[in-house]
Structure 1
């Protein structure tokens, strides 16, 4: 009897321990900050007023009103600069990347419109020295721009491509070489961080032949027109879904025009959550 009773008592203890070990099923909302750090939230927070800075650097000048109206209506503080040199572009980007206001905002947008190479922008400069797009993106990575760490950083870039020559290639290697690495090594402060410095980027790059501007100097960008229309009319839908439909519109345009009038859209992103550009 004692042995049977002891077995019964042992079973009760095991059952109690089993109940304690069993994970409690809770929703994401209920568990909150107790979730493991590697599990992202479902959706980026987009509630600050303004939602963030929208920096527009326009070295062509055909889409000014459309771009300003679009991002102002979305709730961004628009800062618009027109007809900058390469040095001017780099200076403005650096100043904006260092703005302390980012810590109070939920996102950042950069729209860049310029002549350029396939991976660089020329601004209004006549020379083909250019600023590499990779250098622009690095300015806003988490180690160099910690106030935007973990927040969506959206880049919409329209480049009217000028034929590249050997002089441009050489200058790009020089600008994007050791000099940038030296800057990064001085600024970067390694430390515990759960978000990778390259996370939370959306990089939408559209290329068109510079012949478009030569044929119609005042014509707006089809890519930027489609983008603005989507953002204004369907802002409550996920941005990636809108971008897929933007691709379709651009491809439809391409099917009806000559080779010199076609647009090529390339999307790269490291978003970790659903992004909807609406604070409501």
Structure 2
């Protein structure tokens, strides 16, 4: 092979999957490892993410440019899939304009779909097939300033008899999720980043994909990978205009070590 020729290979390691799982690690041996749901309402990140997580051994389902109602229905349908029963994990990646607490999808009313509701669809109460299994969420939020948003709106959420109030002026409350096995990584950057470069991918998601495609880095635990991701993002911020800087928040209730790739 010459240096210019691409090498097509799976990121997943070869050989039989017969590793003994220690008590302090999540079991990650199913084929596929789980469903990876990608909802990209901007459209710049899907291809790289799809290739990355498919290479890791996930059943990747991609959706672009959804409005709030369609996204809600998609989340509900994926949460109800019986396939989760035979899988060891679940991943959800969302890319959208929004506020710190909501995502706007492709809607222009800025009413917002609550991120908390996204999480609730996949907790053990709502999705028993994922009980005790790691559920990972990676959220890229392009933040729209408050003066561009309507104050309050009502969103009817399928599957619940309640209406969820989405108020754009609620401050960002840092609350640890009260359910186990959740890994929640949310990155915020001002929407002006998109306006200046509409076709650019998220630096946060690009670095995540690079780490997971690196044969050495991807063997680290997900917490160690995220620590390296933090480092890359904050190094980026040092050389970037303050209005274009990324802000990264990690919340998790993992009970064990999580490795997405066999050691």
TM-score range, shorter chain: 0.7 to 0.9
Q: TM-score with structure 1 length normalisation?
A: 0.76
CA distance in 2: counterparts of 1:119 and 1:270, whole angstroms: 19
8 A Cα contact 2:156 2:162, kept in partner:
no
What residue in structure 2 maps to residue 48 of structure 1?
30
1:167 is displaced (CA, Å) by 6.2
1:45 is displaced (CA, Å) by 0.3
What residue in structure 2 maps to residue 232 of structure 1?
213
What residue in structure 1 maps to residue 60 of structure 2?
78
8 A Cα contact 1:200 1:272, kept in partner:
yes
Provide closer, same or farther for how the CA distance between residues 168 and 44 of structure 1 changes in structure 2, counting only shifts above 3 A.
Answer: farther
What residue in structure 2 maps to residue 90 of structure 1?
72
Q: TM-score with structure 2 length normalisation?
A: 0.81
CA distance in 1: counterparts of 2:262 and 2:44, whole angstroms: 29
Structure in which a larger fraction of residues adopt helix: 1
What residue in structure 1 maps to residue 18 of structure 2?
none
CA distance in 2: counterparts of 1:269 and 1:236, whole angstroms: 20
State whether structure 2 residue 85 is matched by structure 1 residue 103: yes
Three-state SS of the structure 1 residue aligned to 2:146 is coil
1:180 is displaced (CA, Å) by 4.7
Three-state SS of the structure 2 residue aligned to 1:135 is helix
What residue in structure 2 maps to residue 218 of structure 1?
199
Three-state SS of the structure 1 residue aligned to 2:108 is coil
8 A Cα contact 1:142 1:148, kept in partner:
yes
8 A Cα contact 1:60 1:113, kept in partner:
yes
CA distance in 1: counterparts of 2:44 and 2:238, whole angstroms: 23
Q: Structure 2 unaligned segments of length 5 or more: list them.
A: 1-20, 164-176
The residue correspondences of 1:1-280 to structure 2 (distance < 5 A) are: 41-165=23-147, 168-171=150-153, 174-175=154-155, 180=160, 182=162, 198-233=179-214, 234-279=217-262
8 A Cα contact 1:56 1:79, kept in partner:
yes
Give the number of aligned pairs.
227
Q: Bigger radius of gyration, 1 or 2? A: 1
1:163 is displaced (CA, Å) by 1.2
